A and B are shown apart, each in its own frame.
Chain A
């Protein structure tokens, strides 16, 4: 019978804490950036302007239809060849995850905007609103409520996706775990603890979104 031993993990708890911190930083940066850039892309795709909409659509499809792993590796190893600028693993990972997330968020925004009834557009236009004001005052406030479950999904996916950054030597949780496991020969303990830490980090985000959803439901 295998005897679990967590001594080595306890001795290296500072390593794991640092890893968790980098995971959270990656997650926060990529999600904030993804939401913001996604909004821009979603608006462009909803605007009906063909010349803007087509490049935005191409961007979305490229990032949705290639593996994130390839995207991160590309930014880390291929981008410097192209530009001569070597970014750090963290920057490459943050950039790759952010762009990937922005593509998915763009689709969430676009779908949410499209789900608002035509009558809302007409009522706003009948008051003399232009496109931008209508979007800001009438369409987006309604659409964003419907998008929250989708954004929650995206956020959770992204939180887990940060583990991929370990392949380009970003010292986040997964990287530290693999390091620790190979040094201590205790994969069971290490990866169990890591799974628990991921859960503790990600689950509060889910809880927060439930609360936002409930609060918005009460307001209408």
Chain B
């Protein structure tokens, strides 16, 4: 018997109007797994990630956290979510966004302290010490007093990672964390994520960086039209893809190789 999955989705469906973005996703995330989620745009990979911490509410299906279903089922099978329960869940699941979304009216240090201070209610001194440690971990110990507008994209994203880490989350969700960065800034962010991987953290990463996914992940998912088409270790998924869709997807990345 393996450990209970940290996160599990059960027949997860998400529709935006007539458009079905997720079409029945069953996924179990074991503690310590690092899952890279691949797929073309519109395949539902970001939406899947965003359903895990309820940035989007699923249209149908359930999410289980530590074996317990989130939300309460109503009489007609519909699931009701209380904003308060979702907030409690979200403080245990960290998220890093494509657009960083730092709070522009706060310094880097204040950004990192904000969650521990106001959500977890930590005393200022403790939160500040912890925030400084997180900034040091992402290599920005000396930029704590800078406002986000004064930081490069790569630095902003590293602050955003520190902000997520300061909450001591049990899972980290990365939603295309390097997609809006200039190519020369991608490396500094990926190195930080790789260092976190070495600590054995549970992480899910939506990315277009195939090389990074290969080295980073313990498991790779390939989504297409809202379904998981392939699921396995990176070696097998990326080196010997079975599905034709995945082969086409991977071919696009090698088309202009040299």
Query: Can you list 12 contacts pairing A with B, beta carbon distance less than 8 Å?
Result: A122-B101, A123-B101, A125-B87, A126-B53, A126-B164, A127-B90, A127-B163, A128-B115, A130-B83, A141-B105, A142-B105, A220-B104
Contacting residues, chain B, for A127 (C-beta < 8 A):
90-91, 114-115, 119, 163, 167
A128 CA / B91 CA spacing, docked (Å): 4
Whether a CB of chain A sits under 8 angstroms from the CB of B108 is no
| A128 with B119: CB separation less than 8 A | yes
In the bound complex, CA of A145 to CA of B103 (Å) = 14
> What class of interface size applies to chain B in its complex with A?
20 to 34
A211 in contact (CB, < 8 A): no
| A156 contacts partner chain B, Cβ-Cβ < 8 Å | no
Flag if B119 contacts A119 (CB, 8 Å).
no
Question: B87 touching A129 by the CB < 8 A rule?
Answer: yes
For residue B26, give the distance in angstroms from its CB to the closest CB of chain A.
Answer: 24
A residues less than 8 Å from B160 (CB atoms): 123
Bound Cα distance A141, B118 (Å):
15
Distance in angstroms from B213 CB to nearest chain A CB is 22
* A contacts, CB < 8 Å to B: 117, 119-120, 122-131, 133, 137-138, 141-142, 145, 219-220
- Residues of B close to A145: CB separation below 8 A: 105
Is A128's CB under 8 angstroms from B87's CB? yes
- Residues from chain A with a CB closer than 8 A to the CB of B115 are 127-129
Please tell me if the beta carbons of B55 and A220 are within 8 angstroms of each other in the complex: no
Q: What's the Cα separation between A133 and B118 when bound, in Å?
A: 8
Q: Is the interface of A mostly helix, strand, loop or mixed?
A: helix
In the complex, what residues of A have CB within 8 A of residue B88's CB?
A: 128
Per-residue contact bits, chain B 89-100, to A (CB 8 Å; 1 contact, 0 not): 111111101010
Taking CB as reference atom, which chain B residue is nearest A127?
A: B115
Which B residues lie at the A interface, using CB under 8 A? Answer: 53, 55, 83-84, 87-95, 97, 99, 101-105, 114-115, 118-119, 147, 149, 160, 163-164, 167
Contacts of B164 in A (CB 8 A): 126
With a cutoff of 8 Å between Cβ atoms, the chain B residues found around residue A137 in the complex are: 114, 118
Number of A-B contacts (CB under 8 A): 67
> How far apart are A61's CB and chain B's nearest CB, in angstroms?
29
Establish whether residues A123 and B84, one from each chain, have CB atoms under 8 Å apart when the complex forms. no
Q: Which of A122, A133, A141, A220 touches B97 (beta carbons < 8 Å)?
A: A122
Are B83's CB and A131's CB within 8 A? yes
- Closest-CB distance, B16 to chain A (whole angstroms): 15
Interface centre among A117, A123, A137 (most CB of B within 10 A): A123
- Nearest first, the 9 closest Cβ-Cβ pairs linking A and B are A128-B91, A123-B101, A119-B101, A127-B115, A126-B95, A128-B90, A128-B119, A128-B87, A141-B105
In the complex, what residues of B have CB within 8 A of residue A126's CB?
A: 53, 55, 90, 93-95, 97, 164
In the docked arrangement, what's the CA distance between A210 and B91, Å? 40
Closest chain-B Cβ to A136's Cβ sits at a distance in Å of 9
Closest residue to B99 on the A side, CB-wise?
Answer: A119
CA distance A133 to B120 in the complex (A): 12
Taking the nearest CB of chain B, how far is it from the CB of A186, in angstroms? 53
Residue in B closest to A216 when the chains form the complex, CB atoms: B105
| Inter-chain contacts of B53 with A (CB < 8 A) | 126
Q: How far is the CB of B241 from chain A (nearest CB, A)?
A: 33
CA distance A129 to B119 in the complex (A): 6
Please, which residue of chain A has its CB at the minimum distance from the CB of B111? A123
Establish whether residues A125 and B55, one from each chain, have CB atoms under 8 Å apart when the complex forms.
Answer: yes
With A138-B103, A142-B105 as given contacts, are A125 and B90 in contact (CB-CB < 8 Å)?
yes
- Contact at A129–B105, with CB atoms within 8 Å? no
**Measured between alpha carbons, how far is A128 from B88 in the docked complex, in Å?**
6
Partner of B102, one of A123, A125, A128, A133: A123
> How far, in whole Å, are A127 and B83 apart by their CA atoms in the complex?
13
Chain B residues within 8 Å of A220, by CB: 104-105, 147, 149
